[in-house]
Structures are given as structure tokens and as C-alpha cells.
Amino acid sequence: MSSADKQFKNSFSGKGVFPPKYAFTLLIPFRNIFLSPKQLIQRLDINKDHNMLEIGPGPGYFSTHIAKKLENGKLVLLDIQQEMLDFAKKRLEKRNIGNVEYRLTDGVNLDLESDFFDRVILVTVIGEIDNKSNYLKEIHRSLKQEGILSISELMGDPDKLSIDELTSLVTSCGFKTNQVFGTKRNYTINFKKEKKNKM
């Protein structure tokens, strides 16, 4: 195998952040076998007035469908790669979807509004994050009381966390498990922001 072939294999299928130059592969309809936009939307129980945050949206495979459901709300896309945000923005604007904001983050300071979002979504992203606890605490702060953090993990992702690993991690950051969909190979877990204790 040539060095170029090795580099392609490592960057395409290895662990870590997905490279923007292969973003087009994330739009292949074959993905629906593992998790379709329709399935995800059903699992999220979206209200037309919701404000939602999608972290690591890639080229916007799920984003276009989610944004259309938010008639009076908005979708915020947050990514550490400007190229991915540009790709997603081009796709959504081509479809005349305008209720979306695109935000670049350094992966450390998420700079999110407090008690603002009704839903926060991560699809095959949590395993790529180095400072997971920091992200989860920021997400917790940004969610409305009893808001939902929805995390989906799919087979074939080298960074995939098991259900037990994910549940242990997320519940240690102020969430409780609300709903579990799918199987251990392809699953979505919705975590609810716990109510504040009354003084």
C-alpha cells in the first residue's frame, strides 16, 4: 500500500474528527440503514417552536430535515471545522432553509446561551470529543429545564461508545436517561436535564 493510500485509509476510517474532504460520503442514502432523518426526528419528538442545537452536523445530512420541522423555532449548527459549516450552509440555503445559524467553535469554549435550547443533538460525534465532560456541562447549561440531549451512536464508527460507557458519562454530568431506541449496534439515547432541587 502506497503512503497516499495509507493516508487516505487513516483519515477516512480512523479515529478522530472526520475530514471535510470526504464530507460527501456522509450524504450517501445508504446511511438510512443505520439511522434515517425520519427516524431521528421521531425519536426527538420535535415541536415546531423548539430551538435546537446540532453539534458536529457535518454536511447537514440530518439538519435539512430537522430545520424544516422548526416552523417558529431555529436550528443552530456548531462545529469545529469551518469547511463542514460551509458545506452544510450551502446545502440548506439551496433548499431555501433560512432558520439556521452556523457557529464555529474552538472545541473548548462553546459560547452557548444558558437555558435556551429544547433539544441538543449529537450523531456519531461524542466519541471524537477529547474534553467530553466540559462539552456535556456546557450542553447542560444551555438546555432549558427538562430539555433533551439526544446522542446517537452507529456501528462502523471507530469512536463509538457503548451504551454503558455513554450512560455513565452523561449521567455524571447532571442528566438522567429518558429514552433508549435501537440496539447496542445502532442506538439513540435521549437524556433529560434533571430538575433543579428546590431550596
pLDDT of 36 strictly over 70: yes
**Residue 172 counted as domain residue:** yes
- For residues 160 and 164, give the distance between their C-alpha atoms in angstroms, rounded to a whole number: 12
Q: How many domains does the chain fold into?
A: 1
Phi, psi of 84 (to 5 degrees): -70, -40
| Rounded average pLDDT over 13-19 | 56
pLDDT on residue 17: 66
pLDDT on residue 115: 96
- For residues 32 and 22, give the distance between their C-alpha atoms in angstroms, rounded to a whole number: 18
**Residue 26 counted as domain residue:** no
Tens-digit pLDDT profile for residues 72-105: 999 999 999 999 999 999 999 999 999 999 999 9
pLDDT band at 107 (very low <50, low <70, confident <90, very high): confident
pLDDT on residue 57: 94
Average pLDDT, the chain: 86
| Domain of residue 77, CATH code | 3.40.50.150
Share of the chain above pLDDT 70, in %: 81
Query: What SS3 state is found at 147?
Result: strand
Q: Which domain holds residue 130?
A: 40-193
pLDDT on residue 109: 83
pLDDT on residue 108: 83
Q: Who has greater pLDDT, 107 or 17?
A: 107
29-47: burial string, b at 16+ Cβ within 10 Å, e else: eebeebbebebbeebbebe
pLDDT on residue 198: 46
Model pTM score: 0.84
**Residue 27 counted as domain residue:** no
